[in-house]
Amino acid sequence: MIAKLSVARGAGRVEIEAEAPEWATVLDALESADGTQGILYRHSCHHGSCGVCGALVNGAPRLLCRTRLSELPPGVVRLDPLPYATVIADIAVEPGPLFDSLPDFGYLRPPARPGSVPDQAPLPSDRPERERERFEDCIECGLCLAACPVLVPVERDGSDEAKRPIRPFVGPAALGMARREIAKGGPASREARAVAAAPDGVAACDRAFACSRACPRGVAPGRLIEELRRP
Ligand code: SF4
Ligand code: FES
């Protein structure tokens, strides 16, 4: 089949075509296209575990490597950068807003971005290495933030206005992380309860559950937020 892709480039778009088999993903099509006109996109694992290939596919936040062409309606596939992320160029984004939202429970963190604090080293923690665990199952793709109607309240057209939250909200990934921390009952559970109880915590969620539908890993942050509402 011939896949036709329309990819955002700033205020304009780049149209490309790719020869792709039925089972191909959108990422496969991008990689096999001739003359991609230098389209910038991110990928690494190709199997839904690195979390860097998120984009809006026909307006919905998806992983490019987990979206088969055959599951999309016929016609041109429209690709746009994830909202609530920092656009590098075209559909390549850097999930800084997601990392900024995650509470510091002593987890290992990526190196600080230029201009952020503190320095390039992982955040200091007084907890032993064995207690530093990743937020289970979450691949930090940012799809839940892009899907959240509180964080991205208007039509997802990539404009600056579309990136402005309707109220301060720490976001589904951070609250899901807090719920897991409380469930573990570890040393950070008190801090996690404070994150959930803050004005920009559970109370700021509109219960749309768009985060759970968008999550490619079954983390179901919407359900975890509901669990945080219970006394
Ligand atoms: S909770 Fe799900 S959608 Fe949100 S960042 Fe983690 S893996 Fe991605
Ligand atoms: S390339 Fe790793 S999640 Fe898509």
21-41 per-position pLDDT tens digit? 989 999 999 998 766 678 999
The span from the CA of 27 to the CA of 35, in Å, is 15
Instruction: Name which of 38-52, 80-94, 144-158 the model is least confident about.
Output: 144-158
Q: What is the pLDDT of residue 208?
A: 96
Cα dihedral 65, 71, 72, 73 in deg (nearest 10): 170
Look at ligand 1, atom 4, and give the residue with the nearest C-alpha.
Answer: 144
> 214 with 147: CB under 8 angstroms?
yes
- Domain range for 121 is 96-229
Specify the pLDDT at position 123: 44
8 A C-beta contact, residue 17 and residue 5: yes
pLDDT band at residue 160 under the 50/70/90 scheme: low
Sorting pLDDT into bands at 50, 70 and 90, what band is 187? confident
Q: What is the average per-residue pLDDT within 63-92?
A: 95
Q: Taking a C-beta distance cutoff of 8 angstroms, is the pair 204, 196 a contact? A: no
Q: Which of 55, 71, 92 is the last residue of a domain?
A: 92
Residue where one domain finishes, among candidates 57, 92, 127: 92
Q: Single out the residue of 147, 153, 143, 197 nearest to residue 175, CA to CA.
A: 197
Task: Give the pLDDT band (50/70/90) at residue 158.
Answer: low
| 52 pocket-lining for ligand 1 (C-beta < 6 Å) | no
Residue 108: both structure tokens together: 């290992």
Rounded average pLDDT over 92-102: 89
Q: Which residues contact 194 (CB under 8 A, 6 or more apart)?
A: none
Ligand nearest the Cα atom of residue 61 = 1
Atom index in ligand 2 nearest the CA of residue 49 equals 3
Query: If you average pLDDT over residues 171-187, what whole number do you get?
Result: 90
Residue 138 and residue 156 in one domain = yes
> CA dist 48 to 214, 215, 216, 219, Å?
13, 11, 8, 13
Answer yes or no: is pLDDT of 204 > 90: yes
**In 2-101, which ranges are continuous DSSP H helix?**
26-32, 96-101
Any idea which residue has 């778009």 for tokens? 13
53 lines ligand 2 (CB under 6 A): yes
Q: What is the pLDDT of residue 115?
A: 55
| Listed residues 33, 58, 92: the one ending a domain | 92
Atom of ligand 2 nearest to the CA of 43: 1
What residues does 61 pair with on adjacent strands? 56
Is there a contact between 82 and 97 (Cβ–Cβ < 8 Å)? no
Residue 86: both structure tokens together: 């920092």
In this structure, the answer to whether residues 133 and 196 fall within a common structural domain is yes
Residues 110 and 75 in one domain: no
Which strand (E) or helix (H) includes residue 93?
A: strand 92-94
The predicted-structure confidence for 108-145, as pLDDT tens digits, reads as follows: 544 455 555 444 344 444 444 444 444 578 999 999 99
- Give the pLDDT confidence score for residue 102 in this predicted structure: 86
Residue with the nearest Cα to atom 1 of ligand 1? 173
User: Does 182 lie in the same domain as 124?
Assistant: yes
Statement: residue 149 has pLDDT above 90: yes
Q: Which atom of ligand 2 is least distant from the CA of 66?
A: 4
As a whole number of angstroms, the distance between CA 95 and CA 78 comes to: 21
pLDDT on residue 200: 96
Which of 13-17, 106-110, 128-132, 227-231 is the least confident region? 128-132
Predicted local distance difference test score (pLDDT) of residue 117 = 46
Q: Which of 99, 107, 217, 225 to mutate to test the pocket of ligand 1 (most atoms within 8 A of CB)?
A: 217
Q: How far apart are CA 223 and CA 212, in angstroms?
A: 7
**Domain tally, the chain:** 2
Rg of the chain over all Cα atoms, to the nearest angstrom: 18
